[in-house]
Amino acid sequence: MSQSLQTLCPNCQKTVIYSAANPYCPLCGHLLTPATDQSLSTASDEQILRLLRQTAEQPDETEKIRKRWIRLAIVAVILVALVLAIVPLARILYSKVKDQHKNPR
């Protein structure tokens, strides 16, 4: 298991926990430099728990994008369903109006 490290990300200005095997900020993806890292062994348990909660509470950017695409897909499906429902009704009404003009009563 690789050592867990803690540092302040210079990009998003948040204190983050990451591993030496993956030296990128888990929040913004910025490459973190080991020169500013502090080992978790020097951090108190309270600090570690606070950092883990802070990281867990923030929604992942890919999750936001995924939810946005899902909403867009739902709206597209609803619009297609409305068009498919309205077109046959419009054809029926148009044919009735056309018939009335051909054969006025």
Average pLDDT in the 9-16 region?
83
Give the number of other Cβ atoms within 10 Å of residue 19's Cβ: 13
Angle at 97 between CA 94 and CA 102, to 5 degrees: 125
Phi, psi of 9 (to 5 degrees): -70, 125
pLDDT in tens, 34-55: 644 444 455 677 777 777 777 7
pLDDT in tens, 56-94: 666 677 888 889 999 999 999 999 999 999 999 999 999
